[in-house]
Amino acid sequence: MTVAFPRLASLTILVATLGLAGCGQPQQAQQAPPAPPVTVAKPQVKPVTDYDEYVGRFAAVDLVRIYARVSGYLASINFTDGQLVKQGDLLFTVDKRPFQIALEQAQANLAKSQADLDFAISDLQRAQTLLQDRASTAISKQTFDQRQQTERSARAQVAANEAAVRAAQLDLEFTELRAPVSGRIGDRQVSVGNLVTGGTGGVNTNTLLATIVSIDPIYFDFTFDEASFLRYQRLAKGGAPSDGQVLPPMPVKLELIDETGFPHAGTMDFVNNTISETTGTIRGRAKFSNPNGTFTPGMFGRVQLPASEPKDTLLVPDVAIGTEQTRKFVYVMGPGSEPQAPQMKYVTLGRVVDGLRVIKSGLDPNDRVVVNGLMRIRPGSKVVAQEEGAAPAAAAPAKAATN
CATH of the domain at 299: 2.40.30.170
162 lies in the same domain as 227: no
Q: In what order do the strands lie in the sheet with 183-185?
A: 63-67, 208-213, 183-185, 84-85
Give, to the nearest 10 degrees, the angle between helix 141-174 and helix 97-132: 160
In a domain, 320, yes or no: yes
CATH of the domain at 122: 1.10.287.470
349 lies in the same domain as 274: no
258 lies in the same domain as 296: yes
In a domain, 370, yes or no: yes
121 lies in the same domain as 168: yes
Residue type, 346: Y
In a domain, 278, yes or no: yes
Domain boundary among the residues 306, 331, 350 is at: 306
In a domain, 187, yes or no: no
Confidence band of 308 (pLDDT split at 50, 70, 90): confident
Domain boundary among the residues 306, 338, 353 is at: 306
Q: Which domain holds residue 107?
A: 96-174
pLDDT at 244: 60
Kindly report the number of other CB atoms within 10 A of residue 154's CB atom: 20
Radius of gyration of the chain (CA): 47
How far, CA to CA in Å, does 55 sit from each of 9, 255, 271?
95, 10, 16
CATH of the domain at 350: 2.40.420.20
Residues 150-187: pLDDT tens digits?
889 999 999 999 999 999 999 999 999 999 999 999 99
Rounded to 5 degrees, φ, ψ at 103 are -65, -45
302 lies in the same domain as 326: no
> How far apart are the C-alpha atoms of 361 and 364, rounded to whole Å?
9
In a domain, 195, yes or no: no
> How far apart are the C-alpha atoms of 38 and 333, rounded to whole Å?
10
**Does the pLDDT value for residue 1 go beyond 50?**
no
pTM of the full structure: 0.68
pLDDT at 392: 54
Decide the pairing of beta strands 90-94 and 218-225.
unpaired
Q: What element of type H or E holds 167?
A: helix 141-174
In a domain, 239, yes or no: yes
Residues 179-195: pLDDT tens digits?
999 999 999 999 999 99
Residue type, 231: R
Task: Report how many domains make up the chain.
Answer: 3
**Does the pLDDT value for residue 394 go beyond 60?**
no
The Cβ-side half-sphere exposure at 150, using a 13 Å CA radius, reads 18
In a domain, 263, yes or no: yes
Cross-strand bridge partners of residue 260: none
Check: CB of residue 74 under 8 Å from CB of residue 189.
Answer: no
160 lies in the same domain as 220: no
